[in-house]
A and B are shown apart, each in its own frame.
Chain A
């Protein structure tokens, strides 16, 4: 019998059935992938295993013993640990303080940090990791923080480790490091459940794969039996998906966006954007690539007039817009798909109709004399929803009731419907399933072919490589390199994203 057996687990939230009779069995010492689109039930299943939710029906066996997981403490007692997608570390505390947080097995009285630190160092040595127990967490890189999360679980002697989309925030090199660590862990007898929606990762490191769709198990296969990514993708989506982006040679025109020597210092006088120059022509996609937090969002905000640049200049269609208001920038036919949909692009409480009117409402067509012509707007918005496949129960339901993918399609539809001259798309497909991602990516190509200049920011290398005509790599607010798509390789970009120029292979000095 398998090491972990979840039998006929069902879970529903109100009328929504999140898991329907799901069974999962994982062999000891393997990496088991849990693959599925957003909302397929991967996280719900794992949250049940980790005691965050209680299943309505079904039983869980660990090592042939039926266990009842009331909360995450019970889960840990049974040796089940979980590393969440969003880290659960306290940034201002030291590494060791984070490690023992909520852990009372070292000592019930007092913290006994030294004792804990000694054990932690032994653990680090065993897995060849170089993290000082006395370092402050906020000084660690993202990759290190993630390894710390794993160490934190190992410190609690877990034998089953759940990783929720662990590679979402890593560079390709960091991902490699993580994968070799995972291999080492399984060699030592640990069992790993790996939640992901990236097909390549399943093919690369997993032994077995369970595919979930709409809360049901679609298939459970050994990775060695899988023939191609396409096969996995169609299992995941339920129909044959076209993973190929239809894209032809770019027909470029005039320079639309030109950024010169742009600098931006934040409130703490930290330089977030450091002397960046770039130009986007009509009919091309410039991909901005880099790990999250390397100046991308500040660069975009400066262009959009949401932040005042400290130095340099920005012009759109030859007109200087440096330091102009967002409204003036938008008036140059600029569309913006922001990085954070819920924070910047839409309002959950507003109806779909109102959300779709958010950007263009100032237009004369939307109503004269300061009034809103809701009748006309609604007709217009119904067309957008139809054209961009936004599935909604109606125009007058709150946008918060839409699924994440449909919310994003709504935002993309709104922005593209205005036929922008310049389109700024930041993580346009973040958190979307395969189908919606391909759909949106193809729409971006269509916009390019129509003649829009597109600035695409993404942390997904695949997306950058598939869509861009030229690529610029950002590291710590600086442009490491700008190159033609044809000249770019994954490895090359990966090194640049980590701040390493391949020619002299020296790490650029940290100036922060």
Chain B
């Protein structure tokens, strides 16, 4: 089933790249009007993201959670579910990982890391299941339930770190959990950088996503349901159980993202644990068109924007918020992609017509 690189495949890259370029152009205009130097800013951004081994490590670290939340959105979407709840699922995953990661002292490192990650996956997955059950039992729209469950998850985590899981030995009264044990912290991949093993897990998750959807019967069922519930029904597929599985895996991806962020970067669960990872994941999935490789690449792009922004702010005094502007422009252009469809342009139509007429004459 190996398909060669066909023109259509390359064409898939057209819209995301045009969207990114258009977003940069628009940002350049805004920045220039504000009186900053765009070239300088973008240079600083690029160097900040890819300029050194350390910078690249930072970029990949930042890419990891958004790749996982991107996969979360994408796999649910393939099954026809709009999962806006990756943020909450990520928190619940991080919470489960915190409980396991701060306890079980003396467990060998590899085993401890493994079960902590599994706990993170399950935390998010079981939280995702709630959405599926509400949908199956009461036909509740997941657009509403996922958003609402986000707030519940954040508030619940806030309560946990203020009371049962609160780090009582800390000097400040700041609500935070104890730090996870050293044995569960993810190993650094390159010494001298902060790059941790999370990115490997993210790549594995991407491979899993691809193989699962393309080569398993459950994945085939999910794609069928996502495109046509009536066809799936007619083919004897079990809509509700398969949808439950989809949201289970979706929640699991997000939960795993939370666990990795905890074990690789933050070590403690705090109130603003997620830096909007859940919602950036939606953007990553959209830009990547829910394609395995696309999600990986756009995840890295989003990671680069984040890690480069600090240097950009330092050098050009341009506020970090500019990054959010670029991100939103990208999303707007991805959603409004048809405006870049040159096949619809009048100039192109005229050109095509002339070409066709010439072809007829010869």
- Report how many residues on chain B are interfacial, defined by Cβ distance under 8 Å: 23
Contact B1 A362 (CB under 8 A): no
User: With A362-B217, A371-B217 as given contacts, are A343 and B228 in contact (CB-CB < 8 Å)?
Assistant: yes
A/B pair count, beta carbons within 8 Å: 67
Q: How far is the CB of B81 from chain A (nearest CB, A)?
A: 17
**A101 to B3 CA separation, bound complex (whole angstroms):** 53
Q: Which residue on B lies nearest to A301, using beta carbons? A: B234
Contact A326 B234 (CB under 8 A): yes
Residue from B3, B215, B238 having most chain A Cβ neighbours under 10 A: B215
- Across the interface, B356 reaches (CB within 8 A) one of A12, A304, A326, namely A12
Chain B residues within an 8 Å CB radius of A362: 217, 236
Chain A residues within an 8 Å CB radius of B215: 371-372, 374
Chain B residues within an 8 Å CB radius of A270: none
- Across the interface, A367 reaches (CB within 8 A) one of B217, B227, B228, B352, namely B217
**A187 to B295 CA separation, bound complex (whole angstroms):** 68
User: With A14-B352, A325-B236, A357-B220 as given contacts, are A346 and B1 in contact (CB-CB < 8 Å)?
Assistant: no
- Across the interface, A375 reaches (CB within 8 A) one of B1, B220, B227, B230, namely B1
Chain B residues within an 8 Å CB radius of A117: none
**A326 to B215 CA separation, bound complex (whole angstroms):** 24
- Across the interface, A347 reaches (CB within 8 A) one of B214, B227, B233, B236, namely B227
**A330 to B216 CA separation, bound complex (whole angstroms):** 21
Contact B230 A354 (CB under 8 A): no
Extra pairs beyond A12-B356, A374-B215 (17, CB < 8 Å): A14-B352, A15-B356, A326-B234, A329-B236, A343-B231, A344-B230, A345-B231, A345-B234, A346-B231, A347-B231, A350-B223, A358-B231, A359-B236, A367-B217, A370-B217, A371-B216, A375-B1
Contact A344 B3 (CB under 8 A): no
Please list 10 pairs of residues, one from A and one from B, whose beta carbons are closer than 8 Å in the complex, sorted by A's number: A326-B234, A330-B235, A330-B236, A336-B234, A350-B223, A361-B220, A371-B217, A372-B217, A372-B220, A396-B3
Contact B227 A327 (CB under 8 A): no
Contact B230 A343 (CB under 8 A): yes
Q: How far is the CB of A1 from chain B (nearest CB, A)?
A: 29
Task: Determine whether A306 belongs to the interface, using a CB cutoff of 8 Å to chain B.
Answer: yes
**A345 to B224 CA separation, bound complex (whole angstroms):** 11
Within 8 A of A (CB), among B203-221: 214-218, 220
Chain A residues within an 8 Å CB radius of B356: 12, 15
What per-residue 1/0 map shows which CB atoms of A436-451 lie under 8 Å from chain B?
0000000000000000
Q: Which residue on B lies nearest to A341, using beta carbons? A: B231
Contact A374 B1 (CB under 8 A): yes
Which 6 residue pairs are nearest across A and B when measured between Cβ atoms? A327-B236, A326-B236, A330-B236, A344-B234, A347-B227, A358-B235
Task: Determine whether A176 belongs to the interface, using a CB cutoff of 8 Å to chain B.
Answer: no
Residue from B217, B218, B223, B230 having most chain A Cβ neighbours under 10 A: B217
Chain A residues within an 8 Å CB radius of B1: 374-375, 378
Task: Determine whether A338 belongs to the interface, using a CB cutoff of 8 Å to chain B.
Answer: yes
Within 8 A of B (CB), among A368-398: 370-372, 374-375, 378, 396
Chain B residues within an 8 Å CB radius of A326: 233-236
**A344 to B224 CA separation, bound complex (whole angstroms):** 11
Chain B residues within an 8 Å CB radius of A329: 236
Listed in ascending order, the chain A residues whose CB lies under 8 Å from chain B are: 12, 14-15, 56, 304, 306, 325-327, 329-330, 336, 338, 343-347, 349-350, 354, 357-359, 361-362, 366-367, 370-372, 374-375, 378, 396
**A69 to B1 CA separation, bound complex (whole angstroms):** 50
Q: How far is the CB of B147 from chain A (nearest CB, A)?
A: 28
Q: Which residue on A lies nearest to B217, using beta carbons? A: A370
**A336 to B235 CA separation, bound complex (whole angstroms):** 9
Q: Which residue on B lies nearest to A57, using beta carbons? A: B357
Q: Which residue on B lies nearest to A325, using beta carbons? A: B236
Chain B residues within an 8 Å CB radius of A371: 215-217
**A371 to B217 CA separation, bound complex (whole angstroms):** 5
Q: How far is the CB of A374 from chain B (nearest CB, A)?
A: 5
Q: How far is the CB of B243 from chain A (nearest CB, A)?
A: 16
**A15 to B355 CA separation, bound complex (whole angstroms):** 10
Contact B236 A370 (CB under 8 A): no
Chain B residues within an 8 Å CB radius of A343: 228, 230-231
Chain A residues within an 8 Å CB radius of B231: 343-347, 358
Q: How far is the CB of B316 from chain A (nearest CB, A)?
A: 45
Contact B224 A358 (CB under 8 A): yes
Chain A residues within an 8 Å CB radius of B224: 347, 350, 358
User: With A15-B356, A349-B227 as given contacts, are A370 and B235 in contact (CB-CB < 8 Å)?
Assistant: no
Q: Which residue on A lies nearest to B221, using beta carbons? A: A361
**A343 to B228 CA separation, bound complex (whole angstroms):** 8
User: With A327-B236, A336-B234 as given contacts, are A350 and B217 in contact (CB-CB < 8 Å)?
Assistant: no
Q: Which residue on A lies nearest to B3, using beta carbons? A: A396
Contact A354 B234 (CB under 8 A): no
**A378 to B3 CA separation, bound complex (whole angstroms):** 14
Contact B216 A372 (CB under 8 A): yes
Residue from A306, A344, A367 having most chain B Cβ neighbours under 10 A: A344
Q: How far is the CB of A300 from chain B (nearest CB, A)?
A: 11
Q: How far is the CB of B217 from chain A (nearest CB, A)?
A: 5
Chain A residues within an 8 Å CB radius of B236: 325-327, 329-330, 359, 362
Q: How far is the CB of B192 from chain A (nearest CB, A)?
A: 42
User: With A349-B227, A370-B217 as given contacts, are A327 and B238 in contact (CB-CB < 8 Å)?
Assistant: yes
**A408 to B325 CA separation, bound complex (whole angstroms):** 49
Within 8 A of A (CB), among B125-169: none
Contact A354 B220 (CB under 8 A): yes
Chain A residues within an 8 Å CB radius of B237: 327
Q: Which residue on A lies nearest to B234, using beta carbons? A: A344
Chain B residues within an 8 Å CB radius of A350: 223-224, 227
- Across the interface, A361 reaches (CB within 8 A) one of B217, B352, B353, namely B217
Q: Which residue on B lies nearest to A336, using beta carbons? A: B234
**A15 to B353 CA separation, bound complex (whole angstroms):** 9
Contact B238 A304 (CB under 8 A): no
**A396 to B8 CA separation, bound complex (whole angstroms):** 13
Contact B228 A304 (CB under 8 A): no
